């Protein structure tokens, strides 16, 4: 299953630890979005077994003062 992880952070996503997802072999894509009022925003597209695994993998990444949203992506 694929999930889009949106992160709003006061610092860039590269600093936030997305490389842990890459080392685990679940990261398909990553990118930054236009900076907004809440700071830097970006996303990770990951491929995992289920939502619980997605949540667990994101929990392992130190994301202080971040807002994280995880949504399932429909694969067509």
- Structural domain that includes position 66: 2-73
> Residue 53 in 3-state DSSP?
helix
What is the tally of structural domains in the chain?
1
* Domain CATH number, residue 37: 3.30.70.260
Euclidean distance between CA atoms 36 and 1, whole angstroms: 29
Both tokens assigned to 14? 């590269």
pLDDT digit string, tens, across residues 3-30: 999 988 777 666 666 788 989 999 999 8
Binning pLDDT at 50, 70 and 90, where does residue 45 land? very high
- Residue 5 pairs with which residues in a beta bridge? 44, 70
> Residue 13 in 3-state DSSP?
helix
């Amino acid at each position: 299953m694929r999930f889009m992880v949106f992160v709003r952070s006061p610092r860039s996503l590269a600093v936030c630890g997305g490389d842990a997802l890459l080392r685990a072999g679940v990261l398909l894509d990553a990118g930054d979005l236009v900076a907004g009022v809440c700071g830097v925003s970006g996303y990770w597209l990951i491929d995992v077994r289920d939502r619980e695994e997605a949540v667990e993998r994101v929990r392992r990444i130190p994301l202080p003062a971040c807002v994280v949203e995880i949504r399932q992506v429909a694969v067509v």
